[in-house]
Amino acid sequence: MSPILFAMGALAVLVGIGILVRFSGMRQHLGNILIPCCLIALSLVFLAITFRFSGEEEAGPAAIPRLWIFLILVLSSIILGQILRGKDEVVPRIKRTGLLALVMVTLISYFLAISYIGYFLSTFLFIVLLLNMLSYRKKLLIYFIAGGWILFSYLVFYKLLYIQLPLGFFEGLF
């Protein structure tokens, strides 16, 4: 079986486990259960890939990855067993789920935007957005802080240290 098919199968099993736990009595342990399950699934995918490595001599390229994979499989299974026997602590729910999700999405969007609108504009927008999200009270100061960082990074990183910061559409301007 190809590793991609194997990975897709593992993902399907993980989703199934997630749904099963979500609607069972172990609901509050969902995260605790999914982490060792994910580790086991990933380890199995990696294990499948090691069989494609050429060179089966003693301590070849597959030896060390297989050793780590074997240990992850064993220890994750033990952790999973502990959770199912109720020996793991229930992790408290995230207090600010919405805010955290928003910060993560903004960070990922910022990363994606760098290639298109360049480092300077995307960073300015990122700082302004994040300070607003975190309810920074001095609204006017937000723009000064963001502008100050842009000026600092332009002078220090771009001009002084010669770091080729991505400029996106503004490539010709600088």
Partner 1 sequence: MELFGNLGAAFVSLLDWQTILTMVAGVILGILGGAMPGISPSTAVALLVPFSFTMDARLALILLIAIYQAANYGGSITAVLINTPGTPAAAATCFDGYPLTQQGKAGKGLGTALVGSCLGGAFGAIILIFFCVPLARAALKFSPAAYFGLAIFGLATVASLGGGNVLKAVVAVLIGLLIKTIGLDPIAGIYRFTFGSDLLYDGFALIPALMGLFAVSVVFEKVEKWTGLDRTLEKIDSKLPSLEEFWKIKGTILRSSIVGTIIGIFPGAGATIASFISYDMAKRVSKTPEKFGKGALEGVAASEAANSSSVGGALIPLLALGIPGSATDAVLIGAFILHDLVPGPLLFRDHPGIVYGIFASLVVANILVLLIGLYGNRAFIKVVSVSDAVLYPFILVVAMIGTYSVNNSLFDVGSCIGFGIVGWILKRYGYPPAPVVLGIVLGKLIEYSFRRGVIMGGYAVFFTDRLAFIVLLLAMLSLSYPLIRAGWGRLKKGRQG
Amino acid of residue 11:
L
Contact 146, 124 (CB under 8 A): yes
Q: Does 166 bind partner 1 (CB under 8 A)?
A: yes
Q: In the chain, count of helices (H) and strands (E)?
A: 5, 0
What angle do helix axes 30-50 and 63-84 make, rounded to 10 degrees?
A: 160
Contact 105, 129 (CB under 8 A): no
Least separation in angstroms between residue 126's CB and partner 1 is 7
Among 12, 100, 151, 155, binds partner 1 (CB under 8 A): 100
Residue 125 CA to residue 118 CA, distance in Å, equals 11
Least separation in angstroms between residue 88's CB and partner 1 is 8
Binding mask 16-55 for partner 1 (x = CB under 8 A): ---------------xx--xx--x---x--x--xx--xxx
Distances (CA, A) of 5 to 1, 11, 41, 170, 172: 7, 10, 13, 42, 45
Contacting residues for 72 by C-beta, under 8 A, at least 6 apart: 39, 40, 43
> Which window, 10-18, 19-27, 65-73, contacts partner 1 (CB under 8 A)?
65-73
Q: Which two tokens stand for residue 140?
A: 């006017």
Among 8, 19, 20, 64, binds partner 1 (CB under 8 A): 64
Between 16 and 81, CB nearer to partner 1: 81
Least separation in angstroms between residue 161's CB and partner 1 is 5
Q: Does 147 bind partner 1 (CB under 8 A)?
A: no
Q: Which two tokens stand for residue 41?
A: 């699934």
> Which chain residues interact with partner 1 by CB under 8 A?
31-32, 35-36, 39, 43, 46, 49-50, 53-55, 58-61, 63-65, 68-69, 71-72, 75-76, 78-79, 82, 88-89, 91, 94-96, 99-100, 103-104, 107-108, 110-111, 114-115, 119, 123, 126-127, 130-131, 134-136, 145, 149, 153, 157, 161, 163-166
